[in-house]
Amino acid sequence: MPLTTLAQHNHGAQTPYAGMQNRAIKSLSDNDIKELRRGGGWGLALAAELNGMPGPAHLLELKDQLQLSQDQVVKTQGLVDDMRQAAIPTGERLIAAESALESAFAKGAVDEASLRRLLADTESARTELRYIHLSQHFKTVQFLKPEQIKRYNILRGYAEDPCKNIPAGHNPEMYRRHMGCN
């Protein structure tokens, strides 16, 4: 098929990556970068969140509906503060590592050794960031009552079809992607 015919045939058909070529860091959207810079969860703690271990930031958002005691609020706020204190610089480390990877490919300066090093830097930051967020989730169940956890799951939309009710505080696009919604 001639190139012009192929272009006409594929006109309107876009890949899932169309438009991403204009990003400063191709692997991170502007929203991703904002989330990382504010110390947000970025979906890294879904293994805990969706298995009955509430996130501390979301607990604070729902503290009245969950009837958290003052002691529970203080403990939860401590977890959030610790998480953000560790997550913000680690998120910056991940952004820098993704930027270095992006730069290497943009310059065509990639070989096996440099790629392995760049990926190790990126994944080290991502792993640390994921640990930071997951570790705060499993700490919440140590001071919550089972009925508070059950209520949390209902309020967050996990007891019903998660695709019908996107919980407050979530990026709708990222939430739908992580939940497998259409």
Residue reference for tokens 């272009």: 7
For the segment 66-87, the average pLDDT, to the nearest whole number, is 98
Least confident of 59-63, 74-78, 153-157: 153-157
pTM score of the predicted model: 0.78
Which distant-in-sequence residues (6+ apart) come within 8 Å of 34 by Cβ? 40
Contact 129, 37 (CB under 8 A): no
Q: Does position 120 have pLDDT exceeding 90, yes or no?
A: yes
CA–CA distance from 155 to each of 25, 74, 76, 119, 162 (Å)?
35, 21, 18, 38, 11
